[in-house]
């Protein structure tokens, strides 16, 4: 009897593994699988299927609590749902990989809906972001594991057919109206493919001439569906140092050079593009995925291990100048700044959990709060901070909707403040190579 039971258990396991292996990754044109979702937050029923919304346009919005930009998108998603009413259904979905073989995972999964519900109701930023129901899911993972994970939108038409797999900026009134009218655009599919970042940027096959030198620099255009990434490492065996940037914007590649030489830490706010063709640097009304596919680049540089970093990245900057026809340099300019000032004589701990140095705080202000705004943080605290660690405000609370009063209220607890003024600061300037 025990042998029969063991045989049946093994048979079930084989069938289960085979079923998972046979799951086909979803793409445009596929019928969306009629999966039943049972873990729901803010939904009037205990279970849900996409087929429940036949006759409506459904947009699945993949997100996570750790994705600040996802949360920042939620108010607009809620507004669009209200605007189009019963014609559409926008469903936020938090999808994670199932690990049913792990006992600890089973315990974690059972706690997940309650923990998520608690997080939703106790985090004011998340609670205010959206009134839409959200799906907690593991069943969908094998269908969508080829997608980037968060900020992905799957568009499902009135008949349950997938008509688009996009990034967030496609979800707007114009595109929703087109979809409702049966106008199905041929959007670029938002997905990812695996890439071996350890391999040379250009692979040489047996019929090609090898690279002429051990040390070289080479650039290429965008690699389709490969995630942006850059690597800088040292190989003591080969005696080389190597930089590899994959699918980075032009400003992203230059930023690495200036960051490594220590001259200027580049942010959106302190890079000034003054070229005849701005479309290489800015989207100019294009959707991000389409712009990124056409205006991101790859670059690899390999040099002797004993070459100083300053020389390595200075020569890389010059090579980028030649590749893109750009003259890049640092200039001191009088520009709009936010002055970080000390109210007292020392920095006090904030009651939030983020821990870092004053330098890290300034970095977070630039990246998380001032993203997309032409303001530069200038440190005028006059504090001999020397890298001391302290607690500072959780700046993700202010993603994408900077409110200087709120930021200042949080900083004031620490004895800091931000004031808007003009200052002469070093900035990175990119001009056409022929410009003087």
Residue that finishes a domain, picked among 324, 356, 386: 324
Instruction: Report the DSSP beta bridge partners of residue 355.
Output: 391
Q: Among the residues of 356-403, which ranges form H helices?
A: 358-364
What's the rounded Cα separation, in Å, for the pair 309 and 178? Answer: 52
What integer is the mean pLDDT of 279-287?
Answer: 87
What integer is the mean pLDDT of 399-411?
Answer: 69
Q: Does residue 177 or residue 36 have the better pLDDT? A: 177
| Residue range of the domain that includes 42 | 18-180
269 has a pLDDT exceeding 90: no
Weakest mean pLDDT among 35-44, 100-109, 177-186, 374-383:
100-109
User: How do residues 310-334 score in pLDDT, each as one tens digit?
Assistant: 999 999 999 999 999 999 999 999 9
**In a shared domain, residues 61 and 169:** yes
Residue 431 lies in a domain: no
**pTM, to two decimals:** 0.77
**In a shared domain, residues 43 and 80:** yes
- Phi and psi at residue 206, in whole multiples of 5°? -65, -20
**In a shared domain, residues 291 and 404:** no
Weakest mean pLDDT among 99-113, 151-165, 200-214:
99-113
CATH number of 176's domain: 3.40.30.10
| pLDDT, position 11 | 37
**In a shared domain, residues 174 and 201:** no
Residue 236 lies in a domain: yes
Residue 197 lies in a domain: yes
| pLDDT, position 231 | 93
Weakest mean pLDDT among 83-97, 167-181, 356-370, 415-429:
356-370
Q: What's the Cα-to-Cα distance from 182 to each of 10, 56, 167, rounded to whole Å?
A: 48, 12, 20
- Phi and psi at residue 232, in whole multiples of 5°? -130, 115
| pLDDT, position 118 | 55
Q: Establish how many alpha carbons lie within 13 A of residue 65's alpha carbon, considering only the half-sphere containing its beta carbon.
A: 17
Residue 261 lies in a domain: yes
| pLDDT, position 316 | 95
- How many domains in the chain? 3
**In a shared domain, residues 157 and 218:** no
**In a shared domain, residues 357 and 295:** no
What integer is the mean pLDDT of 347-367?
Answer: 71
**In a shared domain, residues 260 and 362:** no
| pLDDT, position 314 | 93
**In a shared domain, residues 167 and 207:** no
Q: Tell me the three state secondary structure of residue 296.
A: coil
**In a shared domain, residues 228 and 285:** yes
Residue 436 lies in a domain: no
What's the rounded Cα separation, in Å, for the pair 213 and 123? Answer: 56
Q: Among the residues of 280-401, which ranges form H helices?
A: 288-295, 309-324, 358-364
Residue 95 lies in a domain: yes
215 has a pLDDT exceeding 50: yes
Nearest to 411 by CA among 387, 372, 381: 381
Which of 183-192, 290-299, 403-412 is the most confident on average?
Answer: 290-299
**In a shared domain, residues 287 and 415:** no
Beta strands 162-166; 153-156: pairing state: antiparallel
Percent share of the chain, pLDDT over 70: 74
Q: What's the Cα-to-Cα distance from 205 to each of 103, 200, 202, 216, 406, rounded to whole Å?
A: 47, 12, 10, 18, 58
Residue that finishes a domain, picked among 180, 208, 225: 180
2 has a pLDDT exceeding 50: no
What integer is the mean pLDDT of 138-154?
Answer: 79
**Which long-range contacts link 122-128 to residues 24+ away (Cβ below 8 Å)?**
123/65, 125/71, 125/396, 125/397, 126/65, 126/71, 128/75
398 has a pLDDT exceeding 60: no
**In a shared domain, residues 212 and 174:** no
Residue 12 lies in a domain: no
Assigned token pair, 156: 């499902």
Nearest to 389 by CA among 433, 338, 353: 353
What integer is the mean pLDDT of 221-241?
Answer: 92
388 has a pLDDT exceeding 70: no
241 has a pLDDT exceeding 90: yes
User: How do residues 18-62 score in pLDDT, each as one tens digit?
Assistant: 344 456 788 999 999 988 888 777 788 888 899 999 999 999 998
What integer is the mean pLDDT of 209-237?
Answer: 85
User: How do residues 107-135 score in pLDDT, each as one tens digit?
Assistant: 544 554 555 555 555 555 555 556 788 88
Residue 141 lies in a domain: yes
Largest CA distance in the chain: 88
**In a shared domain, residues 309 and 394:** no
| pLDDT, position 74 | 83
């Amino acid at each position: 009897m025990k042998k029969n039971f063991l045989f049946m258990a093994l048979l079930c396991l084989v069938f289960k593994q085979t079923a998972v292996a046979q799951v086909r990754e979803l793409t445009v044109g596929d019928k969306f699988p009629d999966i039943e979702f049972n873990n729901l937050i803010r939904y009037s029923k205990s279970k849900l299927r996409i087929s429940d919304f036949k006759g409506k346009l459904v947009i699945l919005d993949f997100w996570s609590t750790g994705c600040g930009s996802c949360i920042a998108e939620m108010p607009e998603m809620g507004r669009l749902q209200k605007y189009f009413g019963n014609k559409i259904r926008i469903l936020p979905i938090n999808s994670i990989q199932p690990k049913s073989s792990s006992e600890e995972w089973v315990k974690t999964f059972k706690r997940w809906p309650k923990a998520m519900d608690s997080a939703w109701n106790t985090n004011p930023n998340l609670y205010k972001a959206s009134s839409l129901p959200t799906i907690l899911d593991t069943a969908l993972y094998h269908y969508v594991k080829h997608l980037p994970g968060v900020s992905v939108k799957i568009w499902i038409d009135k008949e349950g057919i997938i008509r688009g797999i996009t990034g967030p900026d496609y979800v707007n009134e114009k595109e929703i109206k087109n979809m409702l009218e049966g106008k199905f655009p041929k959007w670029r599919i938002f997905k990812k493919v695996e890439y071996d970042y350890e391999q040379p940027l250009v692979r040489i096959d047996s019929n090609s001439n090898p690279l002429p030198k051990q040390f070289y620099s080479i650039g290429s255009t965008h690699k389709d569906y490969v995630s942006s990434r850059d690597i800088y490492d040292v190989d003591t065996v080969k005696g080389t140092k190597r930089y590899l940037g994959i699918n980075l914007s032009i400003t992203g590649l230059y930023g690495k050079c200036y960051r490594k030489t220590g001259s200027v830490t580049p942010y959106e706010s302190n890079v000034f593009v003054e070229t005849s063709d701005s479309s290489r640097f800015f989207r100019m009304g294009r959707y991000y995925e389409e712009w990124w596919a056409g205006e991101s680049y790859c670059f690899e540089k390999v040099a002797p291990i004993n070459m100083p970093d300053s020389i390595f990245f200075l020569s890389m900057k010059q090579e980028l100048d030649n590749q893109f026809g750009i003259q890049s340099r640092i200039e001191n300019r009088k520009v709009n700044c936010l002055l970080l000032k000390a109210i007292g004589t020392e920095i006090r701990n904030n009651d939030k959990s983020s821990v870092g140095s004053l330098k890290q705080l300034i970095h977070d202000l630039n990246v998380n709060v001032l993203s997309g705004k032409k303001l530069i943080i200038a440190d005028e605290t006059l504090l001999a901070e020397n890298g001391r660690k302290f607690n500072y405000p959780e700046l993700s609370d202010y993603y994408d909707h900077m409110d200087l009063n709120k930021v200042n209220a949080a900083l004031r607890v620490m004895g800091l403040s931000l004031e808007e003024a003009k200052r002469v600061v070093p900035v990175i300037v990119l001009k056409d190579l022929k410009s003087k």
